[in-house]
Amino acid sequence: MRTDRRSLIAAMIRLARRPGLWLMVLLIAVIFLMPAAGPLMRWLFPGVPRPVYTRASFFELTLAHAELVAISSLAAAVIGIGFGIFVTRESGREFAPMAGAIAATGQTFPPVAVLALTIPVLGYGAAPAIAALCLYAIFPIIAATITGIESVPAPTRDAAMGMGFAPRDILWRIELPLAFPFILAGLRNAVIINIGTAAIGSAAGALSLGSPIIEGLSASNPAYVLEGAVIVALLAVAADRCFAWLEDLSRHGGLEQPG
């Protein structure tokens, strides 16, 4: 009985030492307690007549923001990983230098410009924001996929071929598992970028955590800007910790605490 109690206490202590858990608790608390932050905002910004954003709940804004990020990142992952695999095959190897150059320089293009290019085609709302985020997130995923697959040692491929593996088997059973840490790092980079960049989707009419930021900038209300920015920052850091945990899990095969 004492052993079970000590094991439970030890497990709770290990859990309490995880910063990612406390970040999630803090994020949830801020989302639901932000409407009660009126006195604090009035103290910080005494000249603001409406210190708390009320056009939509922060829970609704966070869900809409997460939906934009999830849909765009998933589409970018499918396209980016697929294209990265294609340019590392014999049939697409001639496109590899071009793909590497585009992936390396693609993110120098301003995200606002990407959004502006999609609005005439898709109109206003969530669609142009998702398209812009997807295009912007593809580049780190392509680069990570190419790097991961090309990092597989040639003797490993040769050994698999010598054992009679078909090219498809080599890809799925050898190359992709070994490249997975690189691909996961690319996904981590893309998702974190999208969490921050999704805020500009509100400029195209999409509901997101950028809604209070955009309205605050247009109405000279810094309280709105601060409220949206704080939740975006916490969401990005919490997502980063989740990916760090996944990377650590894939690297060591255990639930060790990421650094």
Contact 155/94 with Cβ under 8 angstroms?
no
Q: Are 156 and 178 in contact (CB under 8 A)?
A: yes
Q: Which residue has the higher pLDDT, 163 or 2?
A: 163
* One CATH from 1.10.3720.10, 1.20.1440.230, 3.40.190.10, 3.40.50.720 for 60-252: 1.10.3720.10
SS3 content of the chain, % helix, strand, coil (to 5): 85, 0, 15
User: At residue 6, does pLDDT exceed 70?
Assistant: no
> In this predicted model, which residue has the larger pLDDT, 166 or 65?
65
pTM: predicted TM-score of the whole model, two decimal places: 0.85
% of the chain residues with pLDDT over 70: 89
Q: How confident is the model at residue 17 (pLDDT cuts 50, 70, 90)?
A: low
Candidates 15, 177, 151, 149; CA nearest to 92 is 149
Give tens-digit pLDDT for 135-162. Answer: 889 999 999 999 999 898 888 888 888 8
Rounded distance, CA 15 to CA 171, Å? 37
Higher pLDDT, 214 or 5: 214
Average pLDDT, stretch 223-229? 94
Query: Which residues neighbour 131 within 8 Å (Cβ) at sequence distance 6 or greater?
Result: 72, 118, 121, 122
Which of 17-26, 70-79, 169-178 bottoms out in mean pLDDT, i.e. has the lowest? 17-26
For range 106-119, the mean pLDDT: 80
pLDDT of residue 119: 86
Residue 259: predicted pLDDT = 40
State residue 12's pLDDT score: 52
Question: Is residue 152 a contact partner of residue 171, using CB atoms and an 8 Å limit?
Answer: no
Q: Is the pLDDT of residue 114 over 70?
A: yes
Pair 147, 181: CB distance under 8 Å? no
Q: Identify the CA nearest to 18 among candidates 216, 257, 259, 220.
A: 257
% of the chain with per-residue pLDDT over 90: 47
Whether the pLDDT of residue 257 is over 50: the answer is: no
